[in-house]
Structure 1
Amino acid sequence: MFNLRSLCVIVLLVSSPSKADEEAAAEDDEGPAANPVSDFVTSPEFGTLRSVCKPVPNTMGLCSGIGYGEMRLPNLLGHDSAREAQQQSAAWMPLLGKHCHPDTRRFLCSLFAPVCLPEVTAPVSPCRSLCEAVRDACLPVMSAFGFPWPEMFNCSRFPDGSELCIPGERDQTRAEPTDATKGSVMCEVCSPDSEGEQEIQQNFCKSQFAFRLRIGSWSVVRTDVRVVPQGRSRVLRWAGGPEEQQAAMDQSALWLPHGCSCPALDGQLTGSYIALGHMQNGRMLLRRLLKWSRDEKELKKFIRMLLRQDC
């Protein structure tokens, strides 16, 4: 789950390496797994350091199977052992689960486990365009939990493409998505069941409206998804006036922007949903949509808990 606790772990891991990690780093640098390819790298950030190539650990969940077998150390974040890089990269795994950008993993691994090219004597940085694309897509997710884009990921420090760098998998000119790529990123609105209940609870009082509903159908209108409720929805929260509420209900539609995919709408549209959102340009825009996967008794208990909140 990508939540406040996970992001706190990120900050702590980046800023506070343990003594055990430092000792392990020293042992790793002298271990037999080091590739003979090595050089001394001088940089204003890390000074003069011995650069070596090491296998990407199979236990490094963030980058295992990324498409290359060896990483160069020290990496671009100053970690000088595979163990240290592995431990600190683990804190970023929850961000992958948010599917905020298709190149998130490529960008993070270019920093934590930069590819080792024998003909290049230093880690290859991500292109600035790759950093900016991932930042622009993922920063809203992080900001929702009160965290800024980390300074260690400052895009201005990376090359603009005029020199060797790691590009995004897709064209970084930020063209409009094609039919083949539309819907390939999961909407932030549609959290997995494992974290959806917590996000509904956290955002209930921040939302202009909250409904319990059933869904009759959905369709794509240009780049947006139009969701049509079935029958009468139960209003759990409405922060606007009665006239605005009536006008909104007369529309009989909720909207998901930007054509992203929503697992909650996959398969048969059976059972109950909880929807949170706000009015924008005369439309009811969804901010959270949860398909209830447990029994009716648990749903009623969850709704009672929401209604007890002091909004």
Structure 2
Amino acid sequence: MRSASESFWGSIRLAVTVALMSACRATEYEYLSWRPDTYSGGPNYGKPPQCVDIPEDLRLCHSVGYSQMLLPNLLEHETIAEVKQQASSWVPLVHKNCHPGTQVFLCSLFAPVCLDQRIYPCRWLCEAVRDGCYPIMEAFGFPWPEMLTCDKFPQDDVCIAMTPPNATEATNPTDFQTIPLLLSTGYSDICPPCDNEMKTDAMLEHMCASEFAFKTKIKEVRRENMDRKVILQKRKKMLKAGNLKKKDLKTLVLYLKNGADCPCQQLDNLGNQYLIMGRKVDKQYLLTGIHKWDKSSKEFKKAIKKLKTYKCPTFENVFK
């Protein structure tokens, strides 16, 4: 039996197909036919487009609700290997639930639905996701990337959009100017580095988004402007060194970016041992993750064990 998500996306594909066929006066619909873009900002590809199955290990988009995607995609990735390498870095952001349309927005670019014409996300969807997720990215020291500049996306052409929950549906089904997507959100106001699930995959994702990780206790926490300054005990057990030198480790001070007022339970309990993660941004070291060191947790022990051999995606290739 097809899930509600699959049925929903099936309806969307049919609707867009009918719209595109009507607009182009097509007599027969073919997935592999290719017509000039209505969106002038589209890239020029060296390879002809093709429909391919979304692989299970493309975690960002395998659950998005449709089974096939176009290659090359809308970010000029020409192989599945390249798509997986680049898309994997965005999985932690989707898990943060910073905006209900994050996965749909990203997958419309990384794994666009297999239709007769490239369908880009609407500019205002990009802006909504950017405005919701940028504070999360900033907390981890990442800027909104140039490749996702919202001005690149269309306002008036056929495009991927979403309608806020409980909003009155205003889209004319004969126009197909937008595709409404009703999604729920579970966004939390907890400081992003502190809002960590005790799940193996989630912990590994946080460690991959960090340059270094170690076990230690916290000596003191102070407010400094809009940040929180985290002063650590001198004794630390290194798990992932990155570019951190031993001399830096002794006097290391971390900052919880824009975290002066958001809740962080871990920083209220200074007697515990913690798994601390961070990365250097400009001249500051940012706290990017903090977990209670809990050997009674099977998920925690599994994450610590897997960290030694786990191959992380290269975040610098994506967030630039």
Q: TM-score, normalised by structure 1?
A: 0.48
Q: Which has the larger radius of gyration?
A: 1
TM-score, with structure 2 as normaliser: 0.47
* RCO higher in structure (CA 8 A, sep ≥6): 2
